[in-house]
Amino acid sequence: MNNLWFLFTLLTIFAWGAGEFFYKAGNEYEDSYSAQRTVVMVGFFFGLYVLVYYGGIRQYEFDWMSLLIYLPVSASYIISMWLGYIGLRYLEVSIVGPVSNASGAVSAIFLVIFSHEVISGWAWVAIALVTLGIIMISKSEDSDMKELEKTAETPEEAKRYRIGSVAILFPIGYMIFDSLGTFFDGIVLDTHQLDIFGRNFHWELAEDQAQMSYMLTFFFLGLIMFCWLTFVKKQRWSIRDEKYRGVAAILETVGQVFYVFAMSGRSVLAAPLIASYAVFSVILGHIFLKERLKPFAYIAVILVVIGTIIIGVYDY
């Protein structure tokens, strides 16, 4: 199966890139519970995958203590994804995808600070490119939204653009929390050790246990969210209303599976390729959602993508 790493890499890029597009299509501004509904759908398909693959096909024995051990990692990833869903309610996928996917730069900084890792000059260049690109995107979005707010025809429309001017904080939040998850993953799965105020922290967990822990935590959160939406907020559910969120959740799950196979083959080549999946999201957003950015924003997105790919090369 390791010989098929390139195919799995391409499938991961397609799944996650297309997933970003369907996340955007499913996270409608008019639906104030759109992000919560997306959490429910992703949690459902994650839980279904664990039940069918790990429980049925592999009959893998799960240690429920792993759920608690891996909880800081799971929580970081889940919070990041939730923030990403909220950001997609206000911003184009052409902006959210590249910014969210730049988390590798922040992960490198965490490793330098807390794990005393030494990174190369190219890694610092990548961090600088990502930082500059995000600052440029933030400035561009703030300027665009303020212009739209001035020409808004209704108070509700003006409010939307006013929130949109600071909505870049959501994908930035995604980037930070996803970086925390990656950083904690390094402690739990790799050889990195966390040094805080002279005290050393290190846990060890098998990859399958970690994968199941993450997916089951997401499933339980989705179940809680479903009960809250259904019985407290009296929300109704239909296949028609959830079709985009459902497709996005399926693609997220499929991408997660192919990612593991791709990285177990030739990670040194697969990682930077997968890191570029946001480019695919941008292309889909332009073709199907008719998204258009100003030249300044395009330059910013390119800087972020280049920095992300460099980090992908450096990490592996």
Who's near 199: CB < 8 A, 6+ residues apart? none
Residue 250: what pLDDT? 97
Question: Bridge partners of 196?
Answer: 199
CA distance 271 to 126: 15
CA distance 172 to 80: 9
Asked if pLDDT for residue 243 goes beyond 90, the answer is yes
Tens digit of pLDDT for each residue in 98-123?
A: 888 787 778 778 777 776 677 778 88
What's the whole-model pTM score? 0.85
Confirm if 45 and 135 have CB atoms less than 8 A apart.
no
Residue 312: what pLDDT? 72
Kindly report the average pLDDT of the chain as a whole number: 85
Residue 185: what pLDDT? 76
- E-strand ranges in the chain read 194-196, 199-201
Residue 36: what pLDDT? 96
Confirm if 74 and 147 have CB atoms less than 8 A apart.
no
How large is the average pLDDT for residues 121-138?
Answer: 87
Containing structural domain, residue 46: 2-315
* 66 or 145, higher pLDDT: 66
Report the number of distinct structural domains present in the chain. Answer: 1
* 169 or 190, higher pLDDT: 169
Asked if pLDDT for residue 313 goes beyond 80, the answer is no
Q: In the structure, what pLDDT confidence band is assigned to residue 235 with cuts at 50, 70 and 90?
A: very high
**Nearest Cα residue to 270 out of 79, 96, 10:** 10
Tens digit of pLDDT for each residue in 201-229?
A: 556 677 889 899 999 999 999 999 999 99
Tens digit of pLDDT for each residue in 65-77?
A: 999 888 988 999 9
Residue 221: what pLDDT? 97
Tens digit of pLDDT for each residue in 183-202?
A: 777 667 654 455 555 556 55
Asked if pLDDT for residue 126 goes beyond 80, the answer is yes
Asked if pLDDT for residue 140 goes beyond 70, the answer is yes
Q: Which of 43-52, 192-201, 202-211, 285-294 has the lowest mean pLDDT?
A: 192-201
How large is the average pLDDT for residues 150-167?
Answer: 79
Asked if pLDDT for residue 280 goes beyond 90, the answer is no
Residue 192: what pLDDT? 47
Please calculate the CA angle 22-27-32 and round it to the nearest 5 degrees: 165
Asked if pLDDT for residue 24 goes beyond 80, the answer is yes
**Nearest Cα residue to 267 out of 314, 304, 206, 306:** 314
Q: Which of 6-10, 30-34, 135-139, 159-163 has the lowest mean pLDDT?
A: 159-163
H helices of 115-206, where?
Answer: 121-150, 155-164, 169-189
